Amino acid sequence: PYTRNIFLDVTGTNLQAVKCTLNIVATALAERGGKIHGVNIKYSDHSEVTPDLNPNRRKLSISYVDSILGLSLDRKQIMDSLMRMEYNVKDIDDDTVEIEIPSWRADILHDIDLVEDVAVGYGYEKFEGKLPEKLTFGKPIESHEEINSLRTIMIGLGFQEVTTFTISNEDDEFRKLSLPVGKKVEILNPIGEEYSCLRVSLLPSLLKLLAENKHHSLPQRIFEIGVIVDESFRNKTHLAAVEISAKASFTNCKSIIEAIMRNIGKEYVLEEKNHPAFIYGRCASVMYNDEEIGFLGELHPKTIISYELEHPIIAFEFQLNKILES
């Protein structure tokens, strides 16, 4: 409460950005009752007074504004709209006005930014809605509709959809699943060890989420449809789900896969699989068109413990690209 004088010192690597920041802070304080005093900065070859609150001037075409907004505003309407947005405006000719842009409006970079303010000053509520004039209308991509259908199926099976980070680390993606460290996209200069590579599977992310929610009651059933980066460094869409409960078993997991494939009308075959993250004899490959597209099973106790969990967990993950492309 005893502060009366404030000295503003702004540093940065871009002189224009520094000046804009100083103008914004200084005018914000002035708006709250402060009084701005300039500072004379002396360089080796020149000097200047900051903050420089002189407005920037820009010319704007009336016809350009109307063409962008789809309206037929005259010069006076456009000038009135800009003055409502706290600009000073004056006539140049029948199709041009000159606008004084306040020094604190660092967001005005192009003419289109001024057109947006014309629209705001004019009032969005005055714009009338109309159908597109083209002969065609947009529609969802077919694969997206199939993915949305899968979401509905998973929700109907009692799962809750989640969205997790695409950035992960070697421990979660490989070591905690007892897998050898494989090919992955590494991040240059990561912010921490926990976010050092792009994920190669959805399963670790779901297990981490279970660990963060282990204080909640059981059972917990979650799924995700998301993008991973495979060994060829290509984006692939996967579906993965986990269930943690005292009664989780391979039989339950197999019945979930059967329900999914039946609902999307795809034929599949299960074959025995040995995966180090799963209990031996309780893991299987999902085969589609004689090609492995995923796996399912009951997680091994050491995998469960590595994610600081305690109860039985079933999980599955498979590629959607190969199913949706067929």
Choose between 321 and 157: higher pLDDT: 157
Q: Tell me: the pLDDT tens digits for 187-198?
A: 988 888 888 999
Q: Where in the chain is the domain with CATH 3.30.930.10?
A: 142-324
The CA distance from 254 to 243, in Å, is 12
Please report the pLDDT score of residue 98 as a whole number: 94
Q: Tell me: the pLDDT tens digits for 5-31?
A: 899 999 999 998 999 999 999 999 999
Please report the pLDDT score of residue 1 as a whole number: 63
Structure tokens at 287: 């085969």
Q: Where in the chain is the domain with CATH 3.30.56.10?
A: 56-126
The CA distance from 154 to 148, in Å, is 10
CATH topology of domain 142-324: BirA Bifunctional Protein; domain 2 (3.30.930)
Q: Where on the phi/psi map is residue 273: left (φ > 0), alpha (ψ -120 to 50), or beta? A: beta
Sign, Cα dihedral of 231, 165, 241, 169: positive
Q: Which residues contact 253 (CB under 8 A, 6 or more apart)?
A: 243, 296, 297, 298, 314, 315, 316
Please report the pLDDT score of residue 300 as a whole number: 95
Q: Which residues contact 258 (CB under 8 A, 6 or more apart)?
A: none
Choose between 121 and 130: higher pLDDT: 121
Does residue 323 surpass a pLDDT of 90?
no
Q: Tell me: the pLDDT tens digits for 233-268?
A: 999 999 999 999 998 999 999 999 999 999 988 899
Does residue 106 surpass a pLDDT of 70?
yes
Give the CATH class of 56-126: alpha beta
Sign, Cα dihedral of 213, 216, 218, 224: negative
Please report the pLDDT score of residue 293 as a whole number: 92
Does residue 123 surpass a pLDDT of 80?
yes
Measure Cα distances from 221 to 154, 155, 253, 293 in Å: 10, 10, 11, 22
Sign, Cα dihedral of 278, 280, 281, 285: positive
